[in-house]
Structure formats: structure tokens, C-alpha cells
Chains A and B, each alone.
Chain A
Amino acid sequence: NAGVTQTPKFRVLKTGQSMTLLCAQDMNHEYMYWYRQDPGMGLRLIHYSVGEGTTAKGEVPDGYNVSRLKKQNFLLGLESAAPSQTSVYFCASSYRPPGQGTEAFFGQGTRLTVV
């Protein structure tokens, strides 16, 4: 049982380059999320999805786009990377909204450096 898998695990980008982070879950969860973790800031929600074909903005959405074409996949795109997007990115999924006390399952993270 793989749970939540993120691809890639590490990436170095030059300013202005684009890339897509892939998140895949095999638990048939409706809800999926992208967070970023920065030192001293905790985890901040970038975008989330409450089901296939839906997306919504989180706390820090600027500079990112997302798509949920298939229930099991949630893609995070950076169209023109900036050094401020250097961070560790986590994908998560849950059966119900995590705010209802439901456990959210996280991937292992993607460490992105923009130079």
C-alpha cells in the first residue's frame, strides 16, 4: 500500500523555469492538498481539491496552479519559478476534510530549490 507518493523528491530549477510536481494517492480519497513548509512558518496550504475536477485556492496560491483531472492525482505547477518558491512541498489526502478530525495522509515531500 503506497499511500501518497510525490514525484520528484528533489529538484533544482533556474529562475523562470517551469515544472510540475505530481502527487498520487491510492486510497480513493476525495480530498487532496498541496502545502509548502518553510523554516519558522509551519505548513501553509497552497491549493486544495474536494474531488475530481475541482480545485480551490488556499492560503498562499500565488505563483502556483493545480489540476485534478483524475481522482488519484493532484498536480502542482510552477509556471515561472522564483527564488521565493524554494521550499519543501507536501501533498496530502484525506477521506473527509481534515478539519473534522479526520486523519490526512502526507507524502514524503519534494525539496525544491530555485536558483
Chain B
Amino acid sequence: DQQVKQNSPSLSVQEGRISILNCDYTNSMFDYFLWYKKYPAEGPTFLISISSIKDKNEDGRFTVFLNKSAKHLSLHIVPSQPGDSAVYFCAASAPQGAQKLVFGQGTRLTINP
């Protein structure tokens, strides 16, 4: 049972436009959500996180929005740059299992010049 789902395997966006990556979850006990970015042949790197007590967190060009009632979060990248082309993973954890991050399947973002 996939508790964290990224339903779009891939997304293509023009350089300079906004990229929106989506993530849905089923476990209402999740209280922290993180986004990781992965380039080919490298390990994932942390991008941004959000606590369930917030509905928005911003870091430069990256903003994560959390809608708890819909069990949905999204990552906005604006403006999109060619270096943003990568696979993005959404991850979540619950208080009782804080050592365990549950990852989504990933979305491959391609930024076209």
C-alpha cells in the first residue's frame, strides 16, 4: 500500500516558468514532509521540508504548500532553471516512526530551454 504517492512520473516545463510537483498521502498521522532532489548517478539531496503545523514554507525559488484536509502537498519552483532538471521525491514521516521516511515514487522534472 503506497502511503505517499506522486502520480506524475514526469513533468516538462519551459525555462523561466513555474514548475509544480504534486504529492498525495494517505496516513493522517504524518507530521513532517520533505522534498529531495536527485540527479543521475548521485544520491538524493534534501531540498525543503514542512511541518504539519504550517501550510507553507519558502526557501528562495522553492515553496512547499501543505493542504492537510486534502492530504496533499506541492512543490513550486519559480522561475524554473535548467539545473532544476532532476527527479524529485516527496517523503513523509509520522511521530511514532520518526526514523522512517516514507518516499513517493518520484517525478522526473525536465526544464526545457
Contacts and interface: CB of A to CB of B under 8 A. Distances in A.
Nearest to A43: B103
Contacts of B45: 106
Contacts of B50: 101
B21 interface: no
Nearest to B30: A99
Given A42-B4, A100-B32, A106 B43 contact: yes
B73 interface: no
Contacts of A31: 99
Interface in A35-78: 35, 40-45, 48, 50, 56, 58-59
A40 B99 contact: no
Contacts, number: 75
Interface residues of A, number: 29
A101 B32 contact: yes
B50 to A, nearest CB: 8
Contacts of B49: 101
A41 B44 CA distance: 15
B41 A58 contact: no
Interface of B: 4, 6, 9, 31-32, 34, 36, 41-46, 49-51, 89, 91, 93-95, 97-106
Interface of A: 4, 31, 33, 35, 40-45, 48, 50, 56, 58-59, 90, 92, 97-101, 103-109
